[in-house]
Amino acid sequence: MTETNMNHVFSSSYLQRLTQELSEDLDKVRNADDFRADSVPFLVHALAQGSSQFPKDDKKRIVQAYEKQTKDEKNLMEDKES
């Protein structure tokens, strides 16, 4: 996997996990009286900046674990459908 691809997968999984963990807080922000639709890109960009704090080796380890988990979940779903 290229470093660019690894960074993309890491950023995607990081944002997915972050939004799950912060879902209640994000709902409060979205429902605030002063929150506007044009604030969404700013919020996403701010959340995504956290992914740059991880060293390359940690990103690689996390991506490998994420891919294994995704593969295991896919196999489980296929087994249930059989």
How far, CA to CA in Å, does 53 sit from each of 1, 5, 7, 35, 72? 20, 17, 12, 27, 28
Which residue in 9, 23, 20 sits closest to 65, CA to CA? 9
pLDDT of res. 81: 86
pLDDT of res. 76: 87
Is residue 36 predicted with pLDDT exceeding 90? yes
Instruction: Please answer whether residues 7 and 64 qualify as being in contact, where contact means their C-beta atoms are separated by less than 8 angstroms.
Output: no
- pLDDT tens digits for 60-72? 999 999 899 889 9
pLDDT of res. 80: 87
pLDDT of res. 19: 94
Q: Rounded distance, CA 78 to CA 10, Å?
A: 25
Q: Say what the pTM is.
A: 0.74
Mean pLDDT, the chain, integer = 92
